[in-house]
Amino acid sequence: MIGKLHAPVAALMRQVARDIVMPRYRNLSADEISEKAADDFVTIADRESELRLAEGLAKILPEASIIGEEACAADPAILERAGEGLNWIIDPIDGTGNFAAGRPPFGIMIALADAGTTLAGWIFDPLTSRLCHGVLGAGSHINGERVHARESAADLPVAALAVYFMTPEERAEIQGRSAGKFTLVDIPRCAAEQYPRLVLGENDISVFSRTLPWDHAAGTLFLNEAGGCCQRLDGSPYKVGDQRRGLLGASSPRLWDMAAKLLFR
């Protein structure tokens, strides 16, 4: 069943990017951008994208419920059932802050999960048309080509640490532990870009504090199926519906173990 979903889901993402997302890029008026919370933006394109994606996915697999980022913002009770049954999980525009500011990166993310386990995930970059796709037990692909995660060639592992949702104490602890151990780089503020960077050898380590399913269900599967490693800080797998904070991704299991010991043990 999962294999038959890829083509229609990919076509839907491309269509929504072409018809809704890209026409609004660098073309938003002030009243089309708002803040759901501090530093958490939403635009008219997010809302229109989610509606169109939800309609399309409901036709592709009607038995799956829909869990969308903007729907959950309007009704938080939807998120409470994220780990139950078969669900489409939608991030209509990941990296909305970048999109609203008229700069890359941003992307569209979709995952299919059953009882909390992600079965398939798609990450589409509308600017480059890069489509990342992972299927549980069947590997990861970019634009149809099988990919395997690889470590960077840097002398020290390259780390992008998303600490902005951490407490000041947590932030100071991570920054202190990472000093001199990694080559630190800026985060893209876009999970749809961060996960491909870990697979493509651009980054080796990434730490996330907030782990909402629309940001991470597709990406964790894509990284793990490519041979990298993305797990909770205690080494347990990421499960949709688990509302704990903290997630560590790495381009290889070896680097995951090293980073976990340096940063969290």
CB 61 within 8 A of CB 85: no
pLDDT in tens, 91-141: 999 999 999 999 999 999 999 999 999 999 999 999 999 999 999 999 999
Question: Given this model, what pLDDT does residue 244 score?
Answer: 93
Question: Given this model, what pLDDT does residue 126 score?
Answer: 98
In 64-212, which ranges are continuous DSSP H helix? Answer: 69-74, 96-101, 168-178, 191-199
65-68 and 40-43 beta bridge pairing: unpaired
**In the chain, where are the structural domains located?**
2-146, 158-264
107-114 and 229-231 beta bridge pairing: unpaired
Measured CA to CA, the distance from residue 213 to residue 244 in angstroms comes to 11
Residue 234 marked in a binding site: no
> Could you identify the residue written with the tokens 């549980």?
136
What string of H, E and C letters represents the secondary structure of 90-115? EEEEECHHHHHHCCCCCEEEEEEEEC
* Closest residue by Cα to residue 89 from 63, 62, 121, 43: 121
Mean pLDDT of 28-49: 91
Q: How many helices (H) and strands (E) does the chain have?
A: 9, 14
What is the DSSP secondary-structure string of 1-21?
Answer: -HHHHHHHHHHHHHHHIIIII
Percent of the chain with pLDDT over 70: 100
Question: Given this model, what pLDDT does residue 167 score?
Answer: 82
Tell whether the model's pLDDT for residue 38 goes beyond 80. no
pLDDT in tens, 161-180: 988 778 888 888 888 999 89
Mean pLDDT of 242-265: 95
Mean pLDDT of 146-156: 95
Question: Given this model, what pLDDT does residue 175 score?
Answer: 87
Per-residue confidence band for 37, with pLDDT thresholds at 50, 70 and 90: confident
Mean pLDDT of 212-237: 98
* CATH of the domain spanning 2-146: 3.30.540.10
Tell whether the model's pLDDT for residue 238 goes beyond 80. yes
CA-CA-CA-CA torsion sign (210, 53, 121, 77)? positive
Q: In degrees rounded to 5, what are phi and psi of residue 59? A: -80, -35
Residue 94 marked in a binding site: yes
* CATH of the domain spanning 158-264: 3.40.190.80
Measured CA to CA, the distance from residue 222 to residue 195 in angstroms comes to 8
Residue 114 marked in a binding site: no
Burial of 137 (0-12, 13-18, 19+ CB in 10 A): exposed
- pTM for this model (two decimals): 0.96
Residue 215 marked in a binding site: yes
